[in-house]
Amino acid sequence: MHKRVKHVLVVSVGLITLTPTFLPAAEPCDGFTWDVARERSLFAGSPQHLAAGKDSVSAPQISLGRLYQIALAPESDVHVATTPGHKPRGEGTLAGMARLRISQAGVYRVSLSEGAWVDLVHEGTVIASEDHQGRAGCSAPHKVVQFRLPAGEVLVQLSGATVPAVQMTVTPAPQGSSAPAK
């Protein structure tokens, strides 16, 4: 009997060491490699509700460092200032625009709660993004796109969305977060 107990004990210990340890899944929003503390803090607050513009003239004015819930329109009803930087995603996608005044040139981030394409336009020219990050399962924020912006009026163009509204904020990037030039 003593040998049998010893055998069961050895087999049990062996099984325990071979069984993978399952840790609780990490919070999806913790996966950003950038410091997104400012953005996360804004997404934890209450958004200001706005209807996106269907053209550059009707685009509402937004401010830096505020969270907005932006109601979008069918992409076919929106007259964008410049062709979006993505391929058309088919029927049923949504779009809209907002205006933003940048008082000091620098690196800024546009953060969205949902997947959507974001183009920034200054004086009729699309500003190329420097970098972006996104996290599946995270909506606070889901996607962060970084741009080097000039001072002046910037048009924020959202397109390719599949939900009727997105939360959005535009924030100055933390010092030292500039992406390498491409």
Q: Can you tell me which residue has the tokens 């949902």? A: 114
* 146 close to 182: Cβ distance less than 8 angstroms: no
Give the DSSP per-residue string, 84-111: -SS----TT-EEEEEEEEESS-EEEEEE
Separation of alpha carbons 3 and 67, rounded Å: 68
The 10 Å Cβ neighbour count of residue 99 is: 17
Global confidence as pTM: 0.79
Given this model, what pLDDT does residue 17 score?
43
Burial 62-92 (b: 16+ CB within 10 A, else e): beeeebbebebbebeebebeeebeeeeeeee
Hey, what CATH topology would domain 32-172 get?
Jelly Rolls (2.60.120)
Give, rounded to a whole angstrom, the gap between the first and last alpha carbons of the chain: 72
Given this model, what pLDDT does residue 11 score?
45
Average pLDDT per block of 10 residues along the chain, 182 residues long: 52 44 57 86 95 96 97 93 71 92 97 93 94 82 94 96 96 73 40
Given this model, what pLDDT does residue 88 score?
60
| Three-class DSSP category at 142 | coil
Separation of alpha carbons 17 and 123, rounded Å: 63
From the list 153, 138, 52, the residue with the least C-alpha distance to 102 is: 153
Separation of alpha carbons 10 and 14, rounded Å: 6
Beta bridge partners of 169: 111
Given this model, what pLDDT does residue 154 score?
97
